[in-house]
């Protein structure tokens, strides 16, 4: 019996799926790193164009609406289901029954379009991030590689690809695992935990080899110690959660009304995207260009104790909302973290205390309010800032943000959006059954 087990363990048949799976995870890591570098380059190029003397202001007003319209047209025409964050598509794919239905959301073609159009959005000044798109791309790669290697558990492959994408995008392996369990899976399945962890490890090693060991937002030495600091925890948790819930509720309401108005008409969809791009341009011009792009630099400045405009968070909030409602490919992770950092920085000015600490707590509360995933929010903030000394305060802030958001808006953003993709798949299935 033991001899047979050993033979089975070391047989080519047993190892082939594992090697194919690890190859897929490695590919996710490499693609994530390349995507990150290209995204940084696109954002810098937009900044260079709009800061040029003479034509900078004109480009700042013209490029976003034109870029948004182009991205919207290309997404509708050539890359259906590539719009928005990408996380709702990955969640929806795990709920669908057939490979054909999942393929419409997570094909390599969709993943390619997601990368290209997200880069185009950043080149147009959109307030979007690459992290959500990396989840959809990672899930698409894992599903394609797994199918080529004969793996049958597509739901597990999607979960593993999503976790690997988050881990490689932020250099946060623990957050990738927690995200897979809390946000993607909503349940912990013992038979898939090994797949998720191994995918995160392989993708993380690829990112580590190319980028080195780093913290996404630098670091902060501030520690919660005084009564005033604990007051910051409460205010940032409740206030951040409330503003985060406002973002989610506003986004869902605007998207619902836009769908009714456009009625699926391509011209109206592209026109609405152009209007959203114009709003982003006006807000960016009013903020001196601070609200364009991911918001990474502003968030890092706040975390490290640097100054931000007290109204930065409001401008970034509106720019992120307009970018999301436009429907162009692009995520909300990085912009949400920037809004939270700006909100926390403003709360710190009003309440008092360390600016860096307030920014970190505001980031936690707001992010937990937007995604309504407190464990993911807490783990990802700790890993991105390297602030292990603030584990308990950050955890409490995440719970307060989550609880406040649930009281204001009971529907989690990503799962609410995923239902639209599931409903569309069901309508398509019924139509095919009716024709048969």
Place of tokens 């870029």: 67
pLDDT the model gives residue 1 = 46
> What pLDDT does residue 110 have?
95
Q: How far is Cα 185 from Cα 193, in angstroms, rounded to an integer? A: 11
pLDDT for res 436: 63
CATH class of 14-211: mainly alpha
Q: Which CATH architecture has domain 227-420?
A: Orthogonal Bundle (1.10)
Q: Give me the tens of pLDDT residue by residue for the chain, a chain 436 residues long.
A: 444 445 444 555 556 667 777 788 888 888 988 998 999 999 999 999 888 766 878 889 999 999 999 999 999 999 999 999 999 999 999 888 888 899 999 999 999 999 999 999 999 999 999 988 999 999 999 888 877 766 667 888 888 888 888 877 777 777 777 777 776 655 445 455 566 667 766 776 666 666 666 666 666 667 777 877 899 999 999 999 999 999 999 999 999 999 999 988 999 999 999 999 999 999 999 999 999 999 999 998 998 888 889 999 999 999 999 999 999 999 998 999 999 999 999 999 998 877 889 999 999 999 999 998 888 888 888 888 777 778 889 899 999 999 999 998 877 888 899 999 999 988 888 888 777 6
| Cβ-Cβ contacts under 8 Å for 190 (sequence gap 6 or more) | none
Give the CA-trace dihedral at 267, 416, 383, 341, to 10 degrees: 60
Q: What is the sign, positive or negative, of the torsion defined by CA atoms of 36, 41, 43, 44?
A: positive
pTM of the model: 0.90
The Cα–Cα gap between 316 and 78 comes to 30
Which of 38, 33, 27 has the alpha carbon at shortest distance from 138? 27
What is the predicted pLDDT for the residue at 97?
Answer: 84
pLDDT value for 331: 92
Whether 227-420 and 14-211 are alike in CATH topology: the answer is yes
CA dist 231 and 238 (Å) reads 11
* Separation between Cα atoms, residue 94 and residue 269, nearest integer Å: 27
Q: Where are the domains of the chain?
A: 14-211, 227-420
Contact (Cβ atoms closer than 8 angstroms) between residue 428 and residue 99: no
CB 400 within 8 A of CB 376: no
- 327 φψ region: left (φ > 0), alpha (ψ -120 to 50), beta (else): left
> Contact, 415 vs 380, CB < 8 A?
no
> 135-156 b/e with 16+ CB inside 10 Å = b?
bbbbbbbbbbbbeebebeebbb
């Amino acid at each position: 019996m033991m001899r047979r087990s050993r033979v089975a363990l070391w047989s080519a048949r047993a190892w082939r799926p594992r090697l194919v799976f690890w190859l897929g995870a490695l590919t996710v890591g490499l693609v994530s790193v390349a995507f990150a570098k290209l995204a940084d380059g696109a954002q810098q190029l937009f900044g260079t164009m709009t800061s040029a003397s003479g034509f900078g202001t004109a480009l700042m007003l013209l490029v976003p609406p034109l870029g948004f319209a182009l991205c919207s047209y290309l997404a509708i025409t050539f890359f259906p289901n590539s719009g928005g964050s990408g996380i709702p598509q990955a969640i929806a794919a795990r709920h669908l029954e057939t490979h054909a239905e999942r393929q419409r959301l997570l094909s390599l073609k969709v993943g390619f379009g997601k990368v290209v159009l997200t880069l185009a959005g950043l080149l147009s000044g959109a307030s979007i991030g690459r992290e959500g798109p990396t989840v959809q791309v990672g899930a698409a790669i894992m599903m394609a590689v797994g199918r080529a290697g004969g793996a049958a558990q597509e739901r597990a492959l999607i979960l593993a690809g999503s976790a690997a994408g988050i881990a490689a995008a932020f250099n946060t392996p623990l957050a990738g695992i927690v995200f897979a369990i809390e946000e993607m899976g909503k349940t912990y399945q013992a038979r898939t935990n090994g797949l998720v962890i191994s995918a995160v490890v392989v993708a993380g090693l690829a990112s580590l080899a190319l980028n080195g060991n780093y913290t996404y937002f630098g670091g902060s030495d501030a520690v919660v110690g005084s009564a005033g600091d604990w007051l910051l925890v409460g205010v940032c948790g409740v206030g951040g959660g409330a503003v985060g819930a406002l973002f989610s509720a506003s986004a869902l309401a605007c998207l619902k009304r836009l769908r009714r108005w456009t009625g699926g008409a391509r011209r109206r969809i592209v026109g609405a995207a152009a209007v959203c791009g114009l709003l982003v341009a006006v807000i960016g011009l009013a903020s001196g260009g601070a609200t364009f792009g991911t918001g990474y630099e502003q968030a890092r400045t706040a975390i490290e104790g640097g100054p931000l405009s007290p109204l930065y968070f409001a401008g970034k909030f509106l720019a992120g909302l307009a970018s999301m409602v436009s429907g162009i490919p692009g995520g909300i992770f990085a912009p949400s973290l920037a809004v939270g950092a700006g909100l926390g920085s403003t709360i710190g000015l009003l309440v008092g205390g360390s600016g860096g600490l307030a920014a970190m707590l505001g980031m936690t509360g707001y992010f937990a309010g937007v995604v309504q995933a407190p464990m993911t929010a807490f783990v990802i903030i700790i890993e991105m800032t390297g602030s292990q000394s603030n584990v308990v305060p950050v955890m409490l802030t995440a719970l307060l943000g989550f609880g406040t958001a649930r009281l204001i808006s009971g529907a989690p953003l990503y799962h609410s959006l995923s239902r639209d993709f599931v409903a569309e798949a069901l309508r398509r299935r019924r139509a095919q059954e009716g024709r048969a």
